[in-house]
Amino acid sequence: MLGLMQSHGLLISTILKHAARHHATAEVVSRTHENTTHRTTWSELERRSRRLVRAMAKLGIKEGDRVGTLAWNGTRHLEVYYAAPGMGAICHTINPRLHPDDIGYIVNHAQDKVLFVDLSFSPLLGMIADTIKDHVRDVVMLCDAGSMPEVALAPGMRLHCYDTLLNDADDDYDWPAFDENTASALCYTSGTTGRPKGVLYSHRSTVLHAYAVALPDVLDLRATSRILPVVPMFHVNAWGIPYAAALTGATLVLPGRHLDGASLAAFFNTERVTLSCGVPTVWLGLLQHLRSSGERLETVKRIMTGGSAAPPLLIDAFRDEYGVAVEHGWGMTELSPVGTYNAPKVAQSGLSGEAATRHMLKQGRVLSGIDMKIVDSDNKELPWDGRAFGDLTVRGPWVASAYYGDEPGSALDADGWFATGDVATIDPEGFMEITDRSKDVIKSGGEWISSIALENIAVSHPDVAEAAVIAARHAKWDERPLLLVVPRPGRTIDPDQVLRSFEGKVAKWWLPDAVIVVAELPHTATGKVQKLALRERYRDHYMED
């Protein structure tokens, strides 16, 4: 027997309509290309998004078409975020930090019909125009008429000004209803191995994810929250915040392109931001700025960190020096992206000092809706004892079932689980801790060593700014850990002293056999240390010895 409840679909437009009707005056604030502050409201944003649908229709955009964006976090980008899926098209966010060849590949693979591009990326556009001309018909610069740049497009491609298109369109449009399983957005993983792969979100997965991240034990979003996502809207939907903010009527503050410590601190304080989200590198930059300038964070109470493991220093320094809680979330493009968040249960709520920091290093427990387990190489589930580590697999309504262009279900195992490629432990309370990406695990004499655990110790050393531990081939043990460290500005690193700082913190056989001091480490387009490149360069370090 079916229930007798109304069956309104979970559509992205319903989130926006809710914000416009019930939080009409709540603000969307953004930093513009010219470094000025632009203010609008959720009701105005909804109205302009309808105009944008009308403008896109004039460009020939239809349901199911891919609408590409190359843009920072800003209001116009947000309008595309809502207009494209709202009309049944697909918002395809592209990471501009990728290599131009990869960007060209992604645009062609997605067969984007139109690109919405921030002024910062007009040179990039010139570089890829020839490669993408078979699919992209129209390029819309996200600016006003007076700011239109000179862009060398390929013959047949048309250049437009966003504000002019919107001014010429009306807002006479009703958001249509359709199947909630319709595709809404597309995002490619940064392809640290092989070509980038597309993850195709649906309205249903996006709305459910937005509800989940808004919950109290995750972002705890309210109509009184003022949230600033530093995480770019081109990187996994800015962790779902553009949707979750509208869902809750929160004020959304978009930082534009200046993401350095000084710019962020200033924007946080002038816009009375209460909560922010981003990767550890951003928070280390902010911390450095606060310490050197003496500036304070006046209103920020919580920071969500994710994308790579947060070093203990980050958690301690923000808590002890600035009264800000740095909280760990974990996820990936294939998970929309948030899968776990570290909020205490009763047993952890009384922790303080070192024990609290140790616990906060864990990536957290699953958001309701997601299930997870760790398995061994025979796909047998491992115990939740906080010690056994194995491959982390997940399932749930906002987990991908296949990559774009592949058969539905092809990314899952026979029981419907998705292998994350991460290696983790889970403790008896269900708190998961990433020890490595599976391809980064160090296998020494048949036993596994966690590179993240070693990196956390290395970056706690006062002379070390950044550290990476990789597996280097070894004649006797197969692989042994090799530590690469970048000195802090003005400091010199004594490798022996760094090694001594490991004593008593991990088993003796976990200690790196060597330390190499380097000026910098290579990073991926999403700001993670590129361990593949490091392995290629240093894999045979111990063999050469």
| Identity of the residue, 219 or 493, whose beta carbon is nearer to ligand ADP in the bound complex | 219
What is the contact mask toward ligand ADP in residues 116 to 135, using x (rule: CB under 6 A)?
Answer: --------------------
443 in catalytic set: yes
Q: Which residue has the tokens 């403790």?
A: 427
Residue tagged active-site, from 133, 164, 448, 477: 448
Nearest distance from residue 376's CB to ligand ADP, in Å?
19
Residue 212: burial class (beta carbons within 10 Å; 0-12, 13-18, 19+) = buried
Q: Specify the stretch interacting with ligand ADP by CB under 6 A; choose among 37-45, 383-391, 476-484, 520-528.
A: 520-528
Torsional sign, CA 55, 95, 236, 328: negative
Measure the CA–CA gap between 256 and 35, rounded to whole angstroms. 8
Q: Specify the stretch interacting with ligand ADP by CB under 6 A; choose among 19-27, 158-166, 346-354, 414-422.
A: 414-422
DSSP letters of 290-313? HHHH----SS--EEEE-SSPPPHH
The DSSP code for 149 is P
What is the contact mask toward ligand ADP in residues 349 to 388, using x (rule: CB under 6 A)?
Answer: --------------x-------------------------
Contacts of 167 (CB under 8 A, 6+ apart): none
Nearest distance from residue 211's CB to ligand ADP, in Å?
21
Token pair for 41: 């409201």
Q: Specify the stretch interacting with ligand ADP by CB under 6 A; choose among 2-10, 111-119, 160-168, 188-196.
A: 188-196
Number of residues that bind ligand ADP (CB under 6 A): 23
| The only residue of 190, 274, 393, 451 in contact with ligand ADP, by rule CB under 6 A | 190
H/E element holding 275? Answer: strand 275-278
Strand partners, 328: 305
| Identity of the residue, 184 or 526, whose beta carbon is nearer to ligand ADP in the bound complex | 526
Q: Specify the stretch interacting with ligand ADP by CB under 6 A; choose among 222-230, 304-312, 382-390, 443-451.
A: 304-312
Nearest distance from residue 142's CB to ligand ADP, in Å?
24
189 in catalytic set: yes
Contacts of 538 (CB under 8 A, 6+ apart): 470, 472, 482, 484, 516
CB 136 within 8 A of CB 108: no
| The only residue of 437, 461, 474, 535 in contact with ligand ADP, by rule CB under 6 A | 437
Q: Which long-range contacts (CB under 8 A, 24 or more apart) does 414-422 make?
A: 417/373, 417/393, 418/334, 418/393, 418/394, 419/391, 419/392, 419/393, 420/332, 420/334, 420/335, 420/339, 420/391, 420/392, 420/393, 420/394, 421/391, 422/332, 422/391, 422/392
CB 255 within 8 A of CB 501: no
| The only residue of 69, 184, 333, 357 in contact with ligand ADP, by rule CB under 6 A | 333
**Is residue 434 at the binding interface for ligand ADP, with CB under 6 A as the rule?**
yes
**Is residue 308 at the binding interface for ligand ADP, with CB under 6 A as the rule?**
yes
| Identity of the residue, 205 or 248, whose beta carbon is nearer to ligand ADP in the bound complex | 205
**Is residue 307 at the binding interface for ligand ADP, with CB under 6 A as the rule?**
yes
Q: Specify the stretch interacting with ligand ADP by CB under 6 A; choose among 117-125, 266-274, 306-314, 529-537.
A: 306-314
Nearest distance from residue 192's CB to ligand ADP, in Å?
5
Q: Among residue numbers 453 through 482, which ones bind ligand ADP (CB under 6 A)?
A: none
Residue 35: burial class (beta carbons within 10 Å; 0-12, 13-18, 19+) = exposed
Contacts of 201 (CB under 8 A, 6+ apart): 183, 184, 185, 186, 187, 237, 336, 398
Residue tagged active-site, from 443, 447, 503, 536: 443
Task: Kindly report the backbone phi and psi dihedral angles of residue 224, in degrees, each rounded to the nearest multiple of 5, phi listed first.
Answer: -90, -5
Q: Specify the stretch interacting with ligand ADP by CB under 6 A; choose among 45-53, 209-217, 332-340, 464-472.
A: 332-340
**Is residue 393 at the binding interface for ligand ADP, with CB under 6 A as the rule?**
no
**Is residue 422 at the binding interface for ligand ADP, with CB under 6 A as the rule?**
yes
**Is residue 530 at the binding interface for ligand ADP, with CB under 6 A as the rule?**
no
| Identity of the residue, 253 or 434, whose beta carbon is nearer to ligand ADP in the bound complex | 434
Residue 60: burial class (beta carbons within 10 Å; 0-12, 13-18, 19+) = exposed
| Identity of the residue, 166 or 185, whose beta carbon is nearer to ligand ADP in the bound complex | 185
State the virtual CA torsion across 446, 448, 449, 453 in degrees, nearest 10: -170
**Is residue 425 at the binding interface for ligand ADP, with CB under 6 A as the rule?**
no
The closest of 414, 417, 419 to 437, measured between CA atoms, is 419
The binding site for ligand ADP (CB under 6 A) comprises: 189-190, 192, 306-309, 328-333, 337, 363, 420-422, 434, 437, 524, 526, 528
Catalytic residues: 189, 334, 443, 448
